[in-house]
Structure 1
Amino acid sequence: MSTSQGRSGEDLASSYLSRRGYTILGRNLRLGRGELDIIACSETLLLFVEVKTHKTRESGLLAVNEDKCARLYSAAEAWLAKHPAYAGLQCRFDLIIVTPRMGLPRWLPPRIEHMKDIIN
């Protein structure tokens, strides 16, 4: 997918999280050895969200390998070091996969799948 499609997927993911009561704290931040697509929080939970906009769910899943998870963790540690006020919240790493509805009318929105706690 192109960069513009990736940004569009991140916009959809941010809206999805906002509708579920999360506050978006940041997007597309390069820290540590990685990049954080979305940082969001609720009263008790801090989310580090990786967004994958792919043609298929499977290719989105394959893009989040062990090395990618290590880079996400490094970036999250760097973000928390810069924002100690959030250190008391429970942290979770989530994945949102955005896939277009192939062959269906264009007015149907892309599919959004939210997978919680992808890094243990």
Structure 2
Amino acid sequence: MSTKLGQAGEDRAVRYLQRRGYTILGRNIRLARGELDIIAKRDELLVFVEVKAHQTYESALLAVHPDKCARLQSAAETWLSHHPNYAHLQCRFDLIILTPRIGLPMWVSPRIEHMEDIIR
């Protein structure tokens, strides 16, 4: 996947989250233990969002394997240690998958699937 495609997918995911009342606190946060695509807040909930723009839903799911989940958790812990003012919030890990709509022109927005609480 190209960086341009990934960036466009994250831009769409941000707009999707904002339309649902989330405030975006950060994007593409690179930490020693991994990267966080989007950090968002809604009410008393802090959400670490992984974004996958793939050709198929299945390939996007396969990209979020146990090692990836461990890196996300570790990166979130590091981010929280640098932002203790958010430590009191309930935390959740979400996944947003963007896939093309088969048979439709490229300019048609991709399908967005938002999966909440993917790591327990």
Partner of 2:71: 71
**RMSD, aligned CA:** 0.9
Matches within 5 A, 1:1-120: 1-120=1-120
Q: Deviations over 1:35-63 (max 9, x none)?
A: 00000001210000000000000000000
- Runs of 4 or more off by more than 3 Å in structure 1? none
Q: How many residues align?
A: 120
Q: Is the 8 A contact 1:31 1:74 kept in 2?
A: no
> Secondary structure at 2:117's aligned position in 1?
coil
Q: Could you tell me which runs of 5 or more consecutive residues in structure 2 were left unpaired when the two chains were aligned.
A: none
1:102 CA drift (Å): 2.5
1:106 CA drift (Å): 3.4
The one-letter code sitting in structure 2 at the alignment partner of 1:110 is P
The one-letter code sitting in structure 1 at the alignment partner of 2:78 is A
Q: Is the 8 A contact 1:95 1:118 kept in 2?
A: yes
Return the TM-score normalized by structure 2.
Answer: 0.97
Percent identity between the two aligned chains: 72
Return the TM-score normalized by structure 1.
Answer: 0.97
